[in-house]
Amino acid sequence: MAEVFLDTNVLVYAFDTSDEAKRTRAFAVLTDHPDAVISTQVLLEWFTIVTRKLTPTLPLADAVTAMGVLARLDVVPADADLALRAARTSVEAQLSIWDAMVIEAAAIAGCGTILTEDLNDGQVIRGVKVINPFAD
């Protein structure tokens, strides 16, 4: 079982040519954690961001191909149980439902760590420690 869950921003930075430092760090994270876990939500958020928000955007065909590669990671599927757990965690930990979904996906997968820049570095939620891989 993998111990590290990757949030969307880690994957996005691997494709972001506008910030070479973060891109390099994201590639290092992916190299260091070939058995990392992601979720269906992370894949969908990644696709939306790289095809609509990055400058330059990733061409759709390239994004589909890259998504196929990312989907080879261990992917936690979104289902009703995950959504309900996330709703509870959202209330209890005062998180957005989307952040709670990521935390719960990591917990379900048995990950002790989530790599993200979207939550408080060092915080522990549902037994999952938040680490910002881009912090100086």
- Structural domains in the chain plus CATH codes: 4-131 (3.40.50.1010)
Is 0.85 surpassed by the pTM of this model?
yes
- Calpha distance 17→127 (Å, rounded): 34
Residue 17 region, left (φ>0) first, then alpha (ψ -120 to 50), else beta?
alpha
In tens, the pLDDT along 55-79 reads 999 999 999 999 999 999 999 999 9
Mean pLDDT of 88-96: 97
- Nearest Cα neighbor of 35 from 125, 111, 102 is 111
Is residue 1 scored above 50 in pLDDT?
Answer: no
2 confidence band (pLDDT: 50, 70, 90): low
